[in-house]
């Protein structure tokens, strides 16, 4: 894994990352299924290079603008029939920028020449180190103190951005979780509302928001009816372990 991914850091979740890769590739297939040419469905397609080598970056690359030359980029998605033009060098906001997928997203955006405003909650230098290491790639501004549960904390970050990638969400898989709804679900929901409110303010320049979800939304490795670790997930599956009676 480490030989394929320069941003990979071993941690408490690395044994489950194979599931993230499969889910990310499923998302990529769904986004590209309406592509104009058969070549775009192939793993060898230039726009998806490296996504099936275990980089766990397919989810971010799937929504990343595809280059169209010196006139900027065009963004499309399954939920929008209208392409969205993003000028070269435009400013993009990425929330939760120290996250695993977010680091890949920031790296790719900087490499493509975009100015990135990266929001994080903590100012801890150790936590910020992987993100700060990407600064040589381009114009990167890191804004700390952006808390999902604090209304208005994302206003400054969203003010100058034309696109917001909202990747921030609390998620753990260890003994810290005693009240999943209060510790995970509610902050994820309220945090998304706070970010969208920031993007919708009159002072904001945001024209499009890309909301990424977590593999936890469909993963079932616990609860009363756990699925095997090598389970093949697709769009038909949903997390039934976190709230088995719902």
Pull the structure tokens for residue 242: 């976190």
Backbone angles phi, psi at 102, to 5 degrees: -60, -35
Q: Per-residue pLDDT for 107 more than 90?
A: yes
Q: Please check whether residue 208 lies inside any domain of the structure.
A: yes
Q: How confident is the model at residue 24 (pLDDT cuts 50, 70, 90)?
A: low
Number of domains in the chain: 1
Q: Please check whether residue 142 lies inside any domain of the structure.
A: yes
Q: Are 74 and 65 in contact (CB under 8 A)?
A: yes
pLDDT in tens, 40-65: 333 333 233 222 223 333 333 333 33
* Cβ neighbourhood burial of 139 (10 Å; 0-12, 13-18, 19+): middle
Res 54: pLDDT: 30
Q: Please check whether residue 17 lies inside any domain of the structure.
A: no
- CATH code for the domain of 69: 3.40.50.720
Q: Per-residue pLDDT for 10 more than 60?
A: no
Q: How confident is the model at residue 102 (pLDDT cuts 50, 70, 90)?
A: very high
Q: Please check whether residue 88 lies inside any domain of the structure.
A: yes
In whole angstroms, give the CA distance from residue 79 to residue 39.
22
Pull the structure tokens for residue 229: 């670790």
In whole angstroms, give the CA distance from residue 28 to residue 37.
15
Percentages of the chain per state (helix, strand, coil), in multiples of 5? 35, 15, 50
Residue 185 domain boundaries: 64-213
Q: How confident is the model at residue 243 (pLDDT cuts 50, 70, 90)?
A: low
* Cβ neighbourhood burial of 38 (10 Å; 0-12, 13-18, 19+): exposed
**Crossing angle for the helix pair 100-111 and 125-132, to the nearest 10 degrees:** 40
In whole angstroms, give the CA distance from residue 172 to residue 155.
27
The CA distances from residue 23 to 16, 38, 66, 244, in Å, are: 11, 22, 21, 21
Q: What is the mean pLDDT of residues 87-109?
A: 93
Strand-pairing partners, residue 93, are 117, 164
Q: Please check whether residue 202 lies inside any domain of the structure.
A: yes
In whole angstroms, give the CA distance from residue 208 to residue 196.
10
Q: How confident is the model at residue 182 (pLDDT cuts 50, 70, 90)?
A: confident
Query: What does the angle CA 61 – CA 86 – CA 212 come to, to the nearest 5 degrees?
Result: 35
Query: What does the angle CA 178 – CA 57 – CA 209 come to, to the nearest 5 degrees?
Result: 75
pLDDT in tens, 188-237: 889 999 999 999 999 999 999 999 877 777 888 777 788 888 889 888 88
Strand-pairing partners, residue 92, are 116, 163
Q: What is the mean pLDDT of residues 97-101?
A: 91
In whole angstroms, give the CA distance from residue 97 to residue 119.
6
């Amino acid at each position: 894994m480490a030989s394929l991914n320069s941003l990979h850091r071993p941690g408490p979740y690395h044994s489950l990352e194979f599931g993230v890769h499969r889910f990310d590739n499923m998302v990529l297939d769904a986004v590209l299924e309406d592509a104009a040419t058969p070549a775009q469905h192939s793993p060898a397609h230039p726009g998806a290079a490296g996504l099936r080598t275990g980089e766990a970056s397919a989810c971010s690359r799937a929504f990343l603008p595809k280059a169209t030359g010196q006139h900027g980029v065009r963004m499309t998605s399954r939920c929008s029939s209208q392409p969205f033009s993003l000028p070269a060098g435009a400013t993009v906001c990425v929330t939760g920028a120290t996250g695993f997928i977010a680091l890949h997203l920031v790296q790719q955006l900087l490499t493509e020449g975009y100015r990135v405003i990266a929001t994080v909650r903590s100012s801890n230098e150790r936590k910020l180190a992987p993100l700060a290491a990407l600064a040589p790639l381009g114009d990167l501004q890191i804004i700390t103190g952006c808390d999902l549960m604090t209304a208005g904390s994302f206003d400054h970050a969203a003010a100058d951005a034309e696109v917001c990638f909202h990747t921030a969400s609390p998620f753990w898989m260890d003994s810290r979780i005693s009240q999943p709804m209060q510790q995970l679900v509610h902050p994820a929901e309220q945090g998304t509302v706070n970010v969208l409110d920031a993007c919708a303010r009159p002072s904001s320049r945001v024209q499009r928001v890309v909301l990424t979800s977590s593999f936890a939304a469909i993963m079932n490795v616990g609860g009363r009816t756990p699925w095997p670790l090598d389970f093949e997930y697709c769009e038909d599956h949903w997390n039934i372990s976190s709230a088995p009676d719902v």
